[in-house]
Amino acid sequence: MLFTVEGFWLLGQDVDAVYLGFVFLATVLIYSTHRIIGIKKLAVVSEQGRFQVIKKYRHHLHIYTAISLVGMLWLLPQLSLLVILSLLPLGVVSILYTLPFLGGARLRDLHYIKIVLIAIVWSGLSVLPILLHQGISVPLAFVFMEKMCFMVAITIPFDVRDLGIDGGLKTIPQLLGINKAYNLAYLLLGMGWLCLCLALVSGAGIVAGLRIEWLLAIGIIHLLTFALLRVSKGKTSDYYFSGALDGTLILRGIILYGVMLFHY
Cα–Cα distance for residue pair 217/225, rounded to 1 Å = 12
Domain count, the chain: 1
pLDDT digits over 94-116, tens only? 888 888 776 677 777 777 788 89
pLDDT of residue 52: 63
- pTM value is 0.89
Mean predicted confidence (pLDDT) in 242-259: 86
Q: What is the dihedral of CA 36, 41, 44, 45, to 10 degrees?
A: -50
Closest CA to 11 of 224, 211, 254: 211
Q: Is the pLDDT reported for residue 149 higher than 70?
A: yes
pLDDT of residue 111: 76
Mean predicted confidence (pLDDT) in 137-155: 92
CB-neighbour burial class of residue 101 (10 A; exposed 0-12, middle 13-18, buried 19+) = exposed
Q: Is the pLDDT reported for residue 53 higher than 70?
A: no
Q: Is the pLDDT reported for residue 151 higher than 70?
A: yes
Return the higher-pLDDT residue of 82 and 14: 82
> Hey, is 102 helix, strand or coil?
strand
Q: Is the pLDDT reported for residue 184 higher than 90?
A: yes
Task: Provide the domain limits for residue 117.
Answer: 2-263
Q: Which residues contact 91 (CB under 8 A, 6 or more apart)?
A: 26
Query: Phi/psi at 263 (nearest 5 deg)?
Result: -120, -10
pLDDT of residue 228: 92
Q: Could you tell me the pLDDT band of residue 57, with boundaries at 50, 70 and 90? A: low
105, β-bridge pairs: 102
Q: Which of 52-66, 79-93, 110-124, 180-194 has the lowest mean pLDDT?
A: 52-66
Per DSSP, helices labelled H in 110-235 are 114-134, 138-161, 172-176, 178-202, 212-232
Mean predicted confidence (pLDDT) in 176-201: 93
pLDDT of residue 87: 94
pLDDT of residue 166: 61
Query: Phi/psi at 174 (nearest 5 deg)?
Result: -70, -35
pLDDT of residue 40: 59
pLDDT digits over 5-49, tens only? 888 888 777 889 999 999 999 999 988 887 777 665 555 444 555
